[in-house]
Amino acid sequence: MESEYLKYIQEIDSTELYNLMTQYGDDVWRYAYALTNNYEQANDIAQEVFIKVHLHMSTFRGQSSFKTWLFSITRNLAVNEMRSGYIRRVLLFGQVKPTVTVLSAESTYMANQAVEDIRAIIMGLSRKLREILLLHLEHDLTIQEMAQLLEISEGTVKSRLSRARKQVEKRWRESE
Protein backbone atom coordinates (compact mmCIF):
# COMPACT_ATOMS: atom_id res chain seq x y z
CA MET A 1 0.00 0.00 0.00
CA GLU A 2 3.00 2.26 0.42
CA SER A 3 3.15 2.51 -3.36
CA GLU A 4 -0.48 3.67 -3.66
CA TYR A 5 0.65 7.19 -4.63
CA LEU A 6 2.42 5.84 -7.71
CA LYS A 7 -0.77 5.64 -9.74
CA TYR A 8 -1.07 9.41 -9.64
CA ILE A 9 2.44 10.00 -10.88
CA GLN A 10 3.11 10.90 -14.51
CA GLU A 11 6.89 10.92 -14.35
CA ILE A 12 9.44 9.90 -11.80
CA ASP A 13 12.78 11.51 -11.22
CA SER A 14 16.06 9.73 -10.58
CA THR A 15 15.73 9.86 -6.81
CA GLU A 16 12.29 8.28 -6.86
CA LEU A 17 13.42 5.66 -9.34
CA TYR A 18 16.41 4.87 -7.13
CA ASN A 19 14.05 4.41 -4.19
CA LEU A 20 11.85 2.08 -6.25
CA MET A 21 14.89 0.07 -7.30
CA THR A 22 15.93 -0.20 -3.67
CA GLN A 23 12.45 -1.30 -2.64
CA TYR A 24 11.57 -3.64 -5.50
CA GLY A 25 14.87 -4.41 -7.25
CA ASP A 26 15.51 -7.68 -5.44
CA ASP A 27 11.95 -8.88 -6.05
CA VAL A 28 12.17 -8.09 -9.74
CA TRP A 29 15.56 -9.78 -10.05
CA ARG A 30 14.37 -12.92 -8.25
CA TYR A 31 11.29 -13.17 -10.43
CA ALA A 32 13.41 -12.68 -13.56
CA TYR A 33 15.72 -15.39 -12.30
CA ALA A 34 12.80 -17.71 -11.52
CA LEU A 35 11.68 -17.30 -15.13
CA THR A 36 15.01 -17.52 -16.91
CA ASN A 37 17.10 -19.67 -14.59
CA ASN A 38 20.00 -17.60 -15.84
CA TYR A 39 21.98 -15.14 -13.73
CA GLU A 40 23.12 -12.84 -16.54
CA GLN A 41 19.69 -12.70 -18.15
CA ALA A 42 18.12 -11.89 -14.79
CA ASN A 43 20.60 -9.02 -14.33
CA ASP A 44 19.80 -7.58 -17.76
CA ILE A 45 16.05 -8.00 -17.46
CA ALA A 46 15.86 -6.49 -13.98
CA GLN A 47 17.66 -3.34 -15.15
CA GLU A 48 15.52 -3.14 -18.29
CA VAL A 49 12.38 -3.33 -16.16
CA PHE A 50 13.28 -0.14 -14.29
CA ILE A 51 14.19 1.66 -17.50
CA LYS A 52 10.70 0.77 -18.77
CA VAL A 53 9.21 1.95 -15.49
CA HIS A 54 10.92 5.30 -15.88
CA LEU A 55 9.64 5.65 -19.45
CA HIS A 56 6.10 4.44 -18.85
CA MET A 57 5.31 5.35 -15.26
CA SER A 58 2.26 7.28 -16.43
CA THR A 59 0.67 4.04 -17.66
CA PHE A 60 0.42 2.62 -14.13
CA ARG A 61 -3.09 3.40 -12.98
CA GLY A 62 -3.42 1.15 -9.99
CA GLN A 63 -5.47 -1.59 -11.68
CA SER A 64 -3.11 -4.01 -9.95
CA SER A 65 -0.60 -3.60 -7.16
CA PHE A 66 2.58 -1.84 -8.19
CA LYS A 67 4.53 -5.02 -7.60
CA THR A 68 2.22 -7.01 -9.88
CA TRP A 69 2.60 -4.31 -12.54
CA LEU A 70 6.38 -4.55 -12.21
CA PHE A 71 6.16 -8.32 -12.48
CA SER A 72 4.06 -8.14 -15.65
CA ILE A 73 6.77 -6.00 -17.28
CA THR A 74 9.39 -8.44 -15.99
CA ARG A 75 7.48 -11.37 -17.41
CA ASN A 76 7.06 -9.79 -20.85
CA LEU A 77 10.75 -8.96 -21.06
CA ALA A 78 11.80 -12.39 -19.79
CA VAL A 79 9.55 -14.27 -22.18
CA ASN A 80 10.89 -12.24 -25.10
CA GLU A 81 14.45 -12.82 -23.95
CA MET A 82 13.94 -16.54 -23.51
CA ARG A 83 12.33 -16.92 -26.90
CA SER A 84 15.15 -15.17 -28.69
CA GLY A 85 17.64 -17.05 -26.53
CA TYR A 86 16.05 -20.37 -27.34
CA ILE A 87 16.10 -19.80 -31.07
CA ARG A 88 19.74 -18.71 -30.90
CA ARG A 89 20.65 -21.90 -29.09
CA VAL A 90 18.67 -24.10 -31.44
CA LEU A 91 20.15 -22.56 -34.53
CA LEU A 92 23.72 -22.29 -33.40
CA PHE A 93 24.11 -25.50 -31.49
CA GLY A 94 21.33 -27.68 -32.78
CA GLN A 95 19.99 -28.41 -29.35
CA VAL A 96 19.08 -26.64 -26.16
CA LYS A 97 21.91 -26.79 -23.70
CA PRO A 98 21.05 -26.62 -20.02
CA THR A 99 22.55 -23.79 -18.05
CA VAL A 100 25.33 -25.23 -15.92
CA THR A 101 26.20 -22.14 -13.93
CA VAL A 102 23.00 -22.05 -11.95
CA LEU A 103 24.26 -23.47 -8.70
CA SER A 104 27.51 -21.55 -8.64
CA ALA A 105 25.66 -18.32 -9.38
CA GLU A 106 23.06 -19.07 -6.80
CA SER A 107 25.66 -19.93 -4.22
CA THR A 108 26.94 -16.37 -4.27
CA TYR A 109 23.95 -15.39 -2.19
CA MET A 110 22.91 -18.65 -0.65
CA ALA A 111 25.39 -19.83 1.89
CA ASN A 112 23.35 -22.47 3.59
CA GLN A 113 23.55 -25.89 1.98
CA ALA A 114 19.95 -26.78 2.75
CA VAL A 115 18.77 -23.58 1.17
CA GLU A 116 20.88 -24.35 -1.87
CA ASP A 117 19.46 -27.85 -2.07
CA ILE A 118 15.86 -26.76 -1.97
CA ARG A 119 16.59 -23.94 -4.37
CA ALA A 120 18.14 -26.39 -6.83
CA ILE A 121 15.09 -28.62 -6.56
CA ILE A 122 12.75 -25.73 -7.28
CA MET A 123 14.82 -24.47 -10.19
CA GLY A 124 14.72 -27.98 -11.58
CA LEU A 125 10.94 -27.77 -11.93
CA SER A 126 9.37 -26.75 -15.21
CA ARG A 127 9.20 -23.00 -15.69
CA LYS A 128 5.45 -22.88 -15.14
CA LEU A 129 5.65 -24.70 -11.82
CA ARG A 130 8.72 -22.96 -10.40
CA GLU A 131 7.32 -19.58 -11.43
CA ILE A 132 4.08 -20.08 -9.57
CA LEU A 133 5.77 -21.59 -6.53
CA LEU A 134 8.27 -18.75 -6.19
CA LEU A 135 5.63 -16.09 -6.76
CA HIS A 136 3.77 -17.64 -3.86
CA LEU A 137 6.63 -18.36 -1.49
CA GLU A 138 9.10 -15.58 -2.21
CA HIS A 139 6.81 -12.78 -3.24
CA ASP A 140 3.65 -13.59 -1.29
CA LEU A 141 1.38 -12.94 -4.24
CA THR A 142 -2.21 -13.99 -3.71
CA ILE A 143 -3.94 -16.52 -5.93
CA GLN A 144 -5.87 -13.67 -7.53
CA GLU A 145 -2.72 -11.63 -8.18
CA MET A 146 -0.98 -14.62 -9.71
CA ALA A 147 -3.96 -15.33 -11.95
CA GLN A 148 -3.98 -11.70 -13.07
CA LEU A 149 -0.24 -11.65 -13.72
CA LEU A 150 -0.11 -14.95 -15.60
CA GLU A 151 -3.45 -14.40 -17.36
CA ILE A 152 -4.78 -17.76 -16.25
CA SER A 153 -7.71 -18.76 -14.08
CA GLU A 154 -7.45 -18.97 -10.31
CA GLY A 155 -8.22 -22.67 -10.59
CA THR A 156 -5.21 -23.17 -12.82
CA VAL A 157 -3.06 -21.25 -10.34
CA LYS A 158 -4.18 -23.53 -7.51
CA SER A 159 -3.64 -26.62 -9.59
CA ARG A 160 -0.11 -25.59 -10.63
CA LEU A 161 0.73 -24.61 -7.07
CA SER A 162 -0.40 -27.97 -5.80
CA ARG A 163 1.59 -29.84 -8.44
CA ALA A 164 4.67 -27.76 -7.74
CA ARG A 165 4.45 -28.43 -4.01
CA LYS A 166 4.01 -32.15 -4.52
CA GLN A 167 6.95 -32.39 -6.87
CA VAL A 168 9.23 -30.41 -4.56
CA GLU A 169 8.22 -32.44 -1.52
CA LYS A 170 8.84 -35.69 -3.40
CA ARG A 171 12.29 -34.59 -4.61
CA TRP A 172 13.12 -33.10 -1.22
CA ARG A 173 12.44 -36.45 0.43
CA GLU A 174 14.39 -38.31 -2.20
CA SER A 175 17.36 -36.01 -1.81
CA GLU A 176 18.33 -37.28 1.58
Partner 1 sequence: MMDKEKPHWTALVKAGAARQGVFTEEMRQAVLTRIDQDRKKRFNHSLIYVAIPLLGLLLCLFLLPHLSSEQAAGLSLRTTSQVDRPITLHYEPANNLAVIPESDKAIRSAALQLVPVSSVHMNNAVTIHNLIKYVDYTKLGDDTTSYFGFALASQLNSVNPQLYEIGYGKMSDVQVQGSEAFGLSNLRADGQCGPERRCVYWLSIDQDKVTAYYQMDASTIYEPDLDGDGVTEAVVLTHAQDMYIYKNIDGEIQSVNVQTALKAEYGDIVTYDPEHREFQLTNGKDTKRYQYEAGADRLRQVHEEVQQDGQ
**Contacts with partner 1, residue ranges (CB under 8 A):** 14, 17-18, 21-22, 25-26, 28-30, 33, 42-43, 46-47, 50-52, 54-56, 58-61, 72-73, 76-77, 79-80, 83-84, 86-87, 90-91, 94-96, 109-112, 114-116, 118-119, 121-122, 133-134, 137-138, 151, 168-169, 172-173, 176
CA distance 38 to 55: 26
Query: Least distance (Å) from partner 1 to the CB of residue 45?
Result: 10
Least Cβ distance, residue 82 to partner 1 (angstroms): 10
The residues near 142 (Cβ < 8 Å, ≥ 6 apart) are none
Secondary structure (DSSP) of 42-53: HHHHHHHHHHHH
Nearer Cβ to partner 1 (9/55): 55
Judge whether 36 and 78 are in contact, CB under 8 Å: yes
Minimum distance of partner 1 from residue 111's CB (angstroms) = 7
Phi and psi based region of residue 62 (left: phi greater than 0; alpha: psi -120 to 50; beta: remaining): left
Q: How far is the CB of 4 from partner 1 (least distance, A)?
A: 18
**Burial status of residue 34 (CB atoms within 10 A of its CB: 0-12, 13-18, 19 or more):** buried
Q: Which is nearer to partner 1, 9 or 51 (by Cβ)?
A: 51
CA neighbours within 13 Å on the CB side: how many for 119? 20
Judged by beta carbon, residue 95 or residue 104, the one nearer partner 1 is 95
